[in-house]
């Protein structure tokens, strides 16, 4: 297994961490992880792509080894999009491919819609656009978000060992602890005689406002990059088939594939996901050989 290089990427308002695989002169593929994950989410997949691509897996703000936002500031999709585009500036990447999983797929979608000239290829695993709002829970969600106490200074659970933390993560996510280990190890920090999650506690606060599906459709229609979407079977409850089909229909150039497995396909089936990604990357200006 190819070991990644650690990176720090200074943005105007915070510093992001990243893991990097492959030759620095190779075409860039920037990878964006899911909610409460980190760049370790791509530890099994990235080495399979690194012979042809420079894979840069960011830790999103508040995740992994990246900085947390200042006190009193909340996390929103749009701010993640701004952070990703700022990271591309700092990395001196005027144009690149994006690979996103779950939350990262939603962010990648919006980044491609916001700056189409910068994204040459879009690869999405278990996500297309952000979580939407059909109006049925808008008022209650808004009230819950504004009534929630501040998370700053909240005492975090201390785990006796990495194994205990891995077990808790496996129960919460449904992903086997041995598969999630790259995420878990990168997501922990020592706390006295135990371990705590590095992620910002504010990431679990309710979101006050979500975009309506009609707004999401309008944004997805602005994606110009050739797009490949990979969905797990059976479908996750928060990614219903009808919703994903309606969203995919908005994207001008998209290919949708399905793969048996859970939400973290890139950790469960890295070889198959790499083959899927390379098939679509091969039609980009810098073609890559099949595995």
Residues that are catalytic: 102
Query: Dihedral of the CA atoms 70, 73, 76, 82 (nearest 10)?
Result: -50
CB-based contact 21:47 (threshold 8 Å): yes
Which distant-in-sequence residues (6+ apart) come within 8 Å of 291 by Cβ? 48, 271, 274, 275, 278
Longest dimension (CA), the chain: 53
Which distant-in-sequence residues (6+ apart) come within 8 Å of 55 by Cβ? 20, 21, 22, 29, 31, 42, 46, 49, 99
- Element spanning 30, H or E: strand 28-32
Q: Would you call 92 exposed, middle or buried from its count of C-beta atoms within 10 A (0-12, 13-18, 19+)? A: exposed
The token pair that represents 109 in the structure block = 């979608």
Inter-helix orientation angle 103-114/77-90, to 10°: 70
Q: Which residue has the tokens 């009193």?
A: 72
Task: Please give the Cα distance from 87 to 89 (Å, whole number).
Answer: 5
């Amino acid at each position: 297994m190819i070991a990644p290089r650690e990176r720090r990427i200074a943005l105007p308002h915070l510093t992001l961490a990243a893991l990097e695989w492959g030759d620095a002169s190779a075409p860039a593929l920037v990878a964006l992880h899911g909610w409460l994950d980190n760049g370790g989410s791509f530890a099994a997949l990235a080495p399979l792509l690194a012979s042809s691509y420079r894979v840069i897996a960011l830790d999103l703000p508040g995740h992994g080894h990246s900085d947390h936002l200042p006190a009193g500031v909340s996390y929103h999709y749009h701010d993640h999009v701004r952070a990703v585009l700022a990271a591309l500036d700092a990395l001196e990447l005027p144009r690149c491919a994006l690979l996103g999983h779950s939350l990262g797929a939603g962010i990648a979608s919006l980044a491609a819609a916001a700056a189409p000239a910068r994204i040459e290829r879009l690869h999405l695993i278990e996500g297309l656009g952000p979580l939407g709002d059909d109006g049925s829970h808008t008022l209650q969600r808004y009230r819950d978000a504004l009534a929630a106490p501040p998370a700053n200074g909240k005492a975090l659970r201390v785990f006796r060992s990495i194994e205990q933390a891995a077990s808790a993560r496996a129960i919460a996510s449904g992903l086997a602890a041995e598969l999630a280990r790259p995420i878990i190890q990168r997501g922990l920090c020592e706390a006295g005689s135990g371990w705590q999650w590095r992620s910002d506690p504010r990431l679990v606060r309710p979101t006050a406002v979500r975009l309506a599906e009609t707004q999401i459709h309008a944004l997805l229609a602005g994606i110009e990059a050739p797009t490949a979407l990979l969905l797990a079977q059976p479908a996750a409850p928060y990614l219903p088939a009808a919703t994903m089909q309606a969203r995919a229909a908005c994207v001008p150039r998209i290919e949708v594939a399905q793969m048996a497995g859970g939400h973290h396909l890139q950790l469960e089936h890295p070889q198959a996901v790499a083959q899927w990604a390379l098939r679509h990357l091969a039609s980009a200006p810098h073609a890559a050989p099949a595995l």
